């Protein structure tokens, strides 16, 4: 399929594969924004006991000594640990922990701990995101039985969510820059310490976040995505080019892949990217719709908005991508090394999805937690058909303060019974993503781009 779309006044044609998605049900509120809320809809004020401070604009300038393109300097490196949660004092903090955190603390009572630091409400976004969010609050509405939306572009569509679907839309439209590129690593860690490392180059070109786009011009498209693997050896040379659509129920994922063995581009079958499709480099741990903690069509579940609560979540994860840190020091058997993981107390939105009757999925129930200051998914609890917690995830937020933009910089998926985990999108080895790479253009995507790159 060929299409033409204008991005920053550049007309381009691209044939692509759909690889992620959006969800939603919404009611616009003409009273947004107000003095009690941040420009994207979070509570501006501190909590009752001051353990969550007032949002004062976030981190909008790099710290002294930072040069653009280099590793991020930790602006909070002098913060000291306030306290540590372990299995011994779990009951004292259980109300502010996810199910997966409690399971890890119980499973590894002598080793797994949660180091809690002062809460720094560092998230901030470019001014055009704030302006667009205010407009979206007045105009955005849900269409197509809740699986799509219109009347929104660039900013968060539903800063005052009234349903679980609205929260999912905000998560899946979170800003990651206009022209994203990164070389990333990850892989699957077994409990005996054997690790299968993956290395991938990612490129993304935004449609939704272009500041001069209107909602109709999006034509149900969010962004195009291209990925190429160099590790492990069995995946070396494999690649895809992809587009993420807003309503994946109406327009399912489609597109192209490059096979280095046959030196051919082929149209990917839907079974390779929908719902429970296994991710080829995860040794069976990852499925398609747990990328970024959740993405894709939401129609397998009945969703409800549980509400907001205070939770200890990974935040300001600069220490986990410090250039002096070695990969095998962060990636330890059974769980990420707690010495390099910073937790803070933040308000999160909580939603729950229960599998619809007649539907089949690996997870019968999902509880997802979203940071109020970024709408990014920061944790999940995943349950099987017996309502047993079997898996859980954490997303690690970091402010790319040179823009400024908060993104989910990497994530980890734990398989609780086996003791395995899988980490993805890690920037430790190769440096941070470039959120506005001028080399990411329309020619970077589509079947032609795959063919040109693969044949070199």
Which tens digits make up the pLDDT trace of 187-244?
A: 999 999 999 999 999 999 999 999 888 878 788 889 999 999 999 999 999 999 988 8
CA distance 286 to 279: 5
254: part of which helix (H) or strand (E)? Answer: none
| Mean pLDDT (whole number) for 155-162 | 96
Q: How far apart are CA 168 and CA 294, in angstroms?
A: 8
C-alpha R_g of the chain: 21
**Cβ contact 101:372 at 8 Å:** no
Q: Are 142 and 24 in contact (CB under 8 A)?
A: yes
Taking only the tens place, the pLDDT of each residue in 3-52 is 333 333 332 222 222 222 222 222 234 467 788 999 999 999 999 999 99
pLDDT in tens, 373-399: 999 999 999 999 999 999 999 999 999
Provide the pLDDT for residue 255.
78
Which residue has 């990612």 as its token pair? 202
pLDDT band at 249 (very low <50, low <70, confident <90, very high): confident
CA distance 120 to 314: 12
In 363-453, DSSP assigns E strands to 365-371, 377-383, 389-400, 405-415, 420-426
Q: How confident is the model at residue 276 (pLDDT cuts 50, 70, 90)?
A: confident
Confidence label for 301 from pLDDT (cuts 50, 70 and 90): very high
- What is the average pLDDT value for the chain, to the nearest integer? 90
Least confident range of 3-12, 82-91, 317-326, 357-366: 3-12
* Residue whose tokens read 């970091």: 398
What does the pLDDT read at residue 279?
80
Which are the contacts of 55, defined by CB distance < 8 A and separation ≥ 6? 38, 42, 43, 44, 121, 373
What's residue 31's pLDDT? 63
Query: Which has more pLDDT, 117 or 143?
Result: 117
Identify whether the C-beta of residue 101 lies closer than 8 Å to the C-beta of residue 89: no
pLDDT at 390: 98
Closest CA to 314 of 116, 171, 125, 121: 116
The full DSSP string for 56-108 is: -S---SPPTT--TTSPPP-TTTTPPP-EEE-GGGHHHHGGGS-HHHHHHHHHS
Q: Is the dihedral of CA 328, 333, 334, 340 positive or negative?
A: negative
Domain annotation for the chain: domains and CATH numbers: 3-454 (2.50.20.10)
Residue of 326, 324, 352, 342 lying closest to 409 (CA atoms): 342
Q: What is the pLDDT of residues 400-456, one digit of tens each?
A: 999 999 999 999 999 999 999 999 999 999 999 999 999 999 999 999 999 988 766
Any idea what DSSP says for residue 375? -
Predicted confidence at residue 456, as pLDDT, reads 61
Task: Please state, in angstroms and rounded to a whole number, the distance separating the CA atoms of residues 80 and 116.
Answer: 9
Mean pLDDT of 327-346: 98
Determine contact, residues 118/315, Cβ cutoff 8 Å.
no
Mean pLDDT across the stretch 110-115? 96
Cα 303 to Cα 370: distance, rounded to the nearest angstrom: 15
Q: Is the pLDDT of residue 179 over 50?
A: yes
Beta partners for residue 394, in sequence order: 379, 412
Q: Is residue 258 exposed (0-12), middle (13-18) or buried (19+ Cβ within 10 Å)?
A: buried
Kindly give, in sequence order, each residue whose CB lies less than 8 Å from that of residue 429, ignoring residues fewer than 6 positions away: 183, 185, 199, 327
């Amino acid at each position: 399929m060929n299409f033409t779309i204008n991005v920053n006044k550049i007309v381009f044609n691209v044939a692509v594969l759909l690889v992620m998605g959006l969800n939603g049900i919404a009611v616009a509120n003409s009273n947004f924004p107000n003095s009690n809320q941040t420009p994207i809809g979070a509570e501006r004020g501190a909590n009752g006991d001051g353990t969550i401070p007032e949002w004062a604009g976030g981190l909008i300038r790099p710290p002294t000594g930072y040069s653009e393109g280099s590793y991020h300097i930790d602006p909070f490196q002098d913060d000291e640990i306030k306290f540590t949660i372990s299995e011994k004092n779990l009951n004292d903090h259980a109300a502010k922990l996810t199910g997966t955190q409690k399971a890890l603390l119980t499973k590894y009572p002598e080793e797994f701990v949660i180091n809690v630091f002062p809460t720094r409400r560092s998230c901030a976004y470019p001014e055009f995101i704030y302006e667009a969010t205010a407009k979206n609050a007045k105009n955005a509405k849900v269409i197509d039985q809740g699986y799509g939306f219109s009347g929104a572009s660039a900013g968060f569509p539903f800063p005052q969510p009234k349903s679980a679907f609205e929260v999912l839309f905000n998560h899946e439209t979170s800003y990651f820059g206009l022209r994203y590129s990164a070389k990333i690593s990850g892989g699957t860690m077994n409990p005996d310490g054997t690790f299968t490392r993956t290395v991938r180059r990612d490129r993304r070109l935004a449609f939704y976040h272009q500041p001069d786009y209107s909602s109709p011009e999006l034509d149900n498209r969010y962004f195009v995505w291209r990925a190429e693997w160099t590790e492990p050896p069995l995946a070396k040379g494999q690649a895809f080019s992809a587009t993420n659509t807003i309503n994946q129920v109406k327009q399912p994922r489609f597109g192209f892949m490059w096979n280095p063995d046959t030196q051919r581009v082929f149209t990917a079958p839907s079974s390779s990217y929908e719902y429970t499709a296994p991710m080829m480099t995860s040794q069976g741990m990852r499925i398609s719709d747990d990328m970024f903690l959740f993405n894709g069509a939401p129609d397998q579940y009945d969703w409800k908005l549980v509400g907001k609560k205070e939770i200890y979540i990974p935040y300001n994860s600069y220490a986990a991508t410090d250039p002096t840190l070695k990969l095998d020091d962060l990636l330890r058997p059974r769980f990420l090394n707690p010495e390099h993981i910073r937790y803070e107390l933040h308000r999160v939105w909580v939603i729950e999805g229960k599998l619809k009757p007649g539907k089949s999925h690996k997870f019968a129930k999902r509880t997802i937690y979203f940071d109020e200051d970024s709408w990014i998914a920061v944790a999940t609890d995943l349950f099987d058909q017996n309502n047993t917690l079997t898996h859980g995830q954490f997303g690690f937020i970091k402010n790319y303060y040179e823009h400024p933009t908060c993104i989910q910089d990497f994530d980890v998926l734990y398989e609780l019974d086996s003791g395995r985990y899988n980490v993805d999108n890690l920037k430790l080895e190769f440096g941070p993503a470039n959120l506005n790479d001028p080399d990411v253009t329309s020619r970077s995507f589509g079947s032609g781009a795959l063919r040109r790159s693969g044949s070199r």
